[in-house]
Amino acid sequence: MAQQGSINSSKINKIRSFALILIFAGILLMYGGLLTRSTEWLMAIFFILGLLAIVFSCVVYVWIGTLSLRAVPIVCPSCEKPTKMLGRVDACMHCKQPLTLDKDLEGEELDTKYNKRSYKKKAKENNTKS
Ligand SMILES: [Zn+2]
């Protein structure tokens, strides 16, 4: 997964829309199976793929549930609505305002790169130098 550039939507929302797309894909695949019912093996493939997509989206929904439990609930300073944060840097679910839990990053241009291990390592190196 290559995530670049600034944050434009909160992570939980992104995963949620991904799960929704999966369900639709599954339904479409099963519908495709109905259209090709004259060819038995093709119908079977469509149905299995559709079922897999739906099962996978259920897994993703469960995963969102556990992520939400781990997420830190905060009140967005920008729109003053309650939102949840995943990782050190995330965006508000309501107004897309980039948020951070890390005081060191406050005021800096927030980027998803701050969640990556390499950045943390670099920050650690900088700390030991100074
Ligand atoms: Zn907000």
Residues with CB under 5 A from ligand 1 (ion): 76, 78-79, 92, 94-95, 97
Cα(2) to ligand 1 centroid in Å equals 25
Instruction: State how far the Cα of 67 lies from the Cα of 116, in Å rounded to an integer.
Output: 17
Q: What is the pLDDT along the chain (130 residues), one digit of tens a residue?
A: 444 444 567 888 888 999 999 999 999 999 999 999 899 999 999 999 999 999 999 999 999 888 888 888 889 888 999 988 888 888 998 898 888 877 766 666 666 666 666 655 565 666 665 5
Cα(88) to ligand 1 centroid in Å equals 16
Quote the pLDDT of residue 96: 87
Cα(95) to ligand 1 centroid in Å equals 4
The pTM of the full predicted model, rounded to 2 decimals, is 0.61
All residues at 6 or more sequence positions from 108 whose CB lies less than 8 Å from its CB, including other chains: none
Cα(77) to ligand 1 centroid in Å equals 7
The CA-atom distances, in angstroms, between 129 and each of 108, 115, 116 are 21, 22, 21
